[in-house]
Amino acid sequence: MEALALQSPVVPVPAASAIPLDAVARAAKGDARAFEELYRAHLPRVHSLVRRMTAGRDADELTQDVFVRLWQKIGSFRGDSSFSTWLHRLAVNVVIERFRTDQVRRKRLHDGENIFEMLPAPAQTRDLGMDFEAALEKLPDGAREIFVLHDVEGYKHHEIATLLEISAGTSKAQLHRARMMLRKHLK
């Protein structure tokens, strides 16, 4: 899986106390109990990534797909990056594979002409984080995916370009548009 070889470490490792040190090795040998420990430790972050990228559509099902894929692939983890970073790249790839089944989405990503017509609603609750999450869901697919990958997950434009099979320029343009829409939400 080529995308797994990308360089940028993005996601901080969850608290060490939450993950037994040998859980990855035991899970790779077929220990389902160890795998469940990994699932428990990483579920919030993986689910949040999937939910934000998909605007909540099929987030639970896709998250399950991520962990089934992890079970299949965990033996190929070599420790070149942190396990958390490796897992999140795997999750991004699972989500993107799903996106690729949606031809309309690809068109949206490249069009983006009407992006400013879909402005998010202003904040309605006192929880700024929740408001922001809600505003994220209202972004057009392409702008949201790139915003989440860049500003939330920390990917670089050239990495996003590789993952989404677009140009780095398109990635920059969509990121800027997403930010411009979201800034209205903060006013």
Residues near other proteins, by CB under 8 A: 28-33, 35-36, 39-40, 43-45, 47-48, 51-52, 58-61, 63-64, 67-68, 71-76, 101, 128-129, 132-133, 147, 151-152, 157, 172, 175-176, 179-180, 182-183, 186-187
Do residues 34 and 75 make contact, with C-beta atoms less than 8 angstroms apart? no
Residue 43 beta carbon to other proteins: minimum distance, rounded to whole angstroms: 6
Place of tokens 């929740």: 130
Q: How far is the CB of 175 from other proteins (least distance, A)?
A: 6
Least CB distance from residue 155 to other proteins, whole Å?
A: 12
Shortest distance in whole angstroms from residue 24 CB to other proteins: 13
Q: By three-state DSSP, how is residue 57 classified?
A: coil
Asked if 120 contacts 182 with a C-beta cutoff of 8 angstroms, the reply is yes
- Considering the complex, state which of residue 40 and residue 110 has its C-beta at the smaller distance from other proteins: 40
Nearer Cβ to other proteins (52/89): 52
CB of 40 to other proteins, least distance (A): 8
Q: How far apart are CA 139 and CA 56, in angstroms?
A: 12
C-alpha span between 185 and 9 (Å, rounded)? 29
Closer Cβ to other proteins, 6 or 50, answer by number: 50
Question: Which of 165, 169 has the CB closer to other proteins?
Answer: 169
Smallest separation (angstroms) from other proteins to the CB of 20: 15
State which residue, 51 or 81, has the beta carbon closest to other proteins.
51
Answer whether 182's CB lies under 8 Å from 135's CB. Answer: yes
CA 103 to CA 42: how far, in whole Å? 31
Scan for tokens 């940028």, then name that residue: 8
CB atoms within 10 A of CB 130: 12
Separation CA 169–CA 163 (nearest Å): 14
Phi and psi of 12, rounded to 5°?
A: -60, 145
Nearest CB to other proteins, comparing residues 74 and 95: 74
